Amino acid sequence: MKIAVLAGDGIGSEIIREAVRVLQALDLPGLELIPADVGGMAYKKHGHPLPAETLQIARAADGILFGAVGDPDCDNLERHLRPEQAILGLRKELGLFANLRPAKVFKGLEDASALRPEVAGAIDLLIVRELNGDVYFGEKGIRTLPDGRRQGWDMMSYAEDEVRRIAHVAFKAAMGRKKKLCSVDKANVLETFQLWRDVVSEVAADYPEVELTHMYVDNAAMQLVRNPGQFDVIVTGNMFGDILSDQASMCVGSIGMLASASLSEGKLGLYEPIHGSAPDIAGKGLANPMATVLSAAMLLRHSLGLEEQAARIEAAVARALADGIRGADLGGTLGTVAIGDAIVERL
């Protein structure tokens, strides 16, 4: 069981250290943790944010535990050398096409949400976002029309196999949860999403136990704040998923709590907190490591098939929160290491 550990920049090394301690506390036989450089620190050492050696280590691993990339020193580099390009490179090179973002309100954190506590308390959903297609990857440009006006254009498309494979990921995820899947599209206006709806409906035949519904994206955005408790699994395209997953994250409170997984067709996946490198608090020992610890739990579940150990980590985080363990992002006073200690103790 090989895990590539890519801490990256800013708070990356601080939060990853705690997640690694949690993994080590499980004492899993055969677990090998292999560190590698990524992001701005990799650029400074090797001249590239995703060095060939790092890519090789990532490719050979069963799962990748990722901290964060982003370094203000690198903001003026050519685009392909900026730290954030490492994430795009890993997604592309490793075929990471499915982004899973669970959003759940832990007991005691209902007040951290932007929503009323009784609405927020009901949130326990998973957004499955397609990551390799849609309007983000189509042909694009800015051209001048014959009358001299400039026009920006981006081509939106999905091929049926791209929709089918993300639909299978979502249906399988729903089978492991409450067996409810909501596919979010804009089939009333966009042909791309009419095909999306048709293909998701076809795939549903393979999962008769899952209750499938369809929702237009504008309604979904509204329902996510009106009654988020109605959702179990949501599947959607790259752009709608980009927006809805950020919206869902604010519904559950602090950015320091949310984990994510990016999966390939095999068992390899990349697991990371949804936040960035937080240069404003880097090196101060203030970052909340819980999102990274929860990302490590997702790694055990999805890439190593260790459901029981993943659930143990999640329970330890929930117990710590219930006991009042809070970082500054949640209005508390505890630092990164103290939060890590609290989780390890409860494991």
The residues annotated with a catalytic role in the active site are 136, 186, 218, 242, 246
Shortest Å, Cβ 14 to ligand NAD: 9
C-beta closer to ligand NAD: residue 68 or 119: 68
Runs of H (alpha helix) within the chain: 12-25, 40-46, 52-60, 85-94, 117-120, 160-175, 191-203, 217-226, 238-251, 290-302, 307-322, 336-346
Shortest Å, Cβ 200 to ligand NAD: 28
- Write out the residues near ligand NAD by the rule CB under 6 A: 15, 68-70, 84, 87, 255-256, 272, 275-281, 287-288, 291, 327, 329
C-beta closer to ligand NAD: residue 236 or 292: 292
Buried b / exposed e across 112-139, counting CB within 10 Å, b at 16+? bbebeeebbbebbbbbbbbbbbbbeeee
**CA–CA distance, 75 with 82 (Å, rounded to integer):** 7
C-beta closer to ligand NAD: residue 274 or 306: 274
C-beta closer to ligand NAD: residue 278 or 325: 278
Q: Are 10 and 20 in contact (CB under 8 A)?
A: no
Shortest Å, Cβ 39 to ligand NAD: 7
C-beta closer to ligand NAD: residue 17 or 179: 17
Shortest Å, Cβ 310 to ligand NAD: 20
State the amino acid at position 155 in one-letter form: M
SS3 of residue 141 by DSSP: strand
Phi-psi region of 79 (alpha: psi -120 to 50; beta: other; left: phi over 0): alpha
Phi, psi angle pair for 106, to nearest 5°? -75, 150
**CA–CA distance, 89 with 95 (Å, rounded to integer):** 10
Shortest Å, Cβ 254 to ligand NAD: 7
